[in-house]
Amino acid sequence: MQTRYQLRHSPAAHPKAANWRPVGGTQLAYRFFAPVSYSAKPPREHKPAGRKRSARYPGPVSTDPHRATPTGKPRARSLGLKFRGTPGPWNAITDVPGVEVGYQTLIEGDSVRTGVTAIHPRGKANPGDPVAAGFHSQNGNGEMTGVSWIEESGTFEGPVAITNTHAVGIAHAGIISWMNRYHPEFTEVWLLPVAAETWDGYLNDINGHHVTEDTVVAALEAASHEQPDEGSVGGGTGMNCYQYKAGSGTASRQIDYAGTTYTVGVFVQANFGRRDELTVTGIYLGEEFADDNPMRDARNAAPIQGAGSVIAVVATDAPLFPSQCKAFARRVTSGLARTGTSGSHFSGDLFLAFSTANPGAFTSEASGPGVTAATANAYDQLTFIPWPHIDPFFEAVVQATEEAVINSLIANEDMTGRDGHRSPKLPRDRLKEIVAARDARG
């Protein structure tokens, strides 16, 4: 017998399935949803695909994934910005083996500007193997579910979803719905999903209940190991950073240790900061870019200056102890600070870090069909980077966080949403000129 979740998400429940197509792990849903066939295929190798020319970005499309998104949007490095550290092939969180990212983007009429971002730590096929994890709250004016268990056990299992503030409960339920459809063995007792949020009410009709369980399931099913898109996609669709249009951003760094190259990847949903704080690769822009700030002038439509929140997810294949994951999460604060923010009291700045190393190392059940007499009394064992050698990994977190935030700003255009509220794009041409002038001075 099918469960109520399976019936709800069966193909018969989606008559417009033929109209919905996945492209590079991203779904652009204009108020209709349909299922994606699910298969447990192994991650594909990193082979950068050719870029598609976008109507919004009609110029030459870079084939370098460090300079452009899969949909042809510019990334920070395309403006001549220089960042420290060595990025991975995609310069994205999906450079970490096994990690998959998917989006469901909702843009409808004049008032719907929202969506869901999904992250699978070990891929869609393997949500039941816990990962070592740590959580840090820089400022608690926000929500991330599941963190009580992460603090208690140092682990979590299943996918992560990020959306808007008033849909975080729906995201939580959507994860359970997806798990119950494809991996019901993990929902028979209980599941404590990780769902997080930032506020998009300036551009989006946040009280309109536009995000549904179907939206969340579609994002989870759309996830891919390829380079994810950035900017106004997924949960980041209606978000703003430093009072410019922002949203989803990602970056990665590679670190060598003991003859092995490891990757640290960061994904941010950037929705924080005042314009007067903005700093890009050490260049203070708060005064230079002070003009064209509708959010500052819309006193009754926007939250207190600097409010909004930021969610950061840090992934690595380096073997870590849970307390080291927590230390990784704390280093996100330093990466954000490089972009200028001091961390508003009215911003929910919540950070999650996990390690995909040590597969099968955490026993997740005390009894059941997978527990034998031999394993019932066995010990769990972890391999982890020695603390005296952890600093290069901390640096990688800081570097990737900084670049991920800037990528979320660069890969964007003006957006107008609810009640005519407008969020301008960061002036890329002006920034490029400033960077070139600085480099010329040496």
Catalytic site residues?
A: 309, 347, 349
The Cα 192–Cα 202 span in angstroms is 30
Q: Which residues is 350 bridged to in the sheet?
A: 137, 311
- The distance in angstroms from the start CA to the end CA of the chain is 70
> Hey, CA dihedral for 79, 82, 86, 92, is it positive or negative?
negative
DSSP character string of 85-116:
S---SSSSGGGSTT-EEEEEEEEETTTEEEEE
To the nearest 10 degrees (0 to 180), the angle between helices 168-182 and 213-222 is 60
* Residue located via tokens 């966080």: 401
The Cα 105–Cα 233 span in angstroms is 5
The Cα 331–Cα 313 span in angstroms is 12
| Nearest Cα residue to 219 out of 145, 120, 121, 128 | 120
b/e string for 104-124 if b means 16 or more Cβ within 10 A? bbbbeeebbbbbbbbbbbbbb
The Cα 291–Cα 427 span in angstroms is 11
Residue 45's alpha-carbon distances to 62, 90, 123, 423, in angstroms, are 20, 11, 14, 37
Long-range CB contact pairs, 7-10, < 8 A, 24+ = 8/177, 8/213, 8/214, 9/35, 9/177, 9/181, 9/214, 9/217, 10/35
Radius of gyration of the chain (CA): 21
The Cα 266–Cα 260 span in angstroms is 20
Asked if residue 211 lies in contact with residue 29, where contact means CB atoms within 8 angstroms, the answer is no
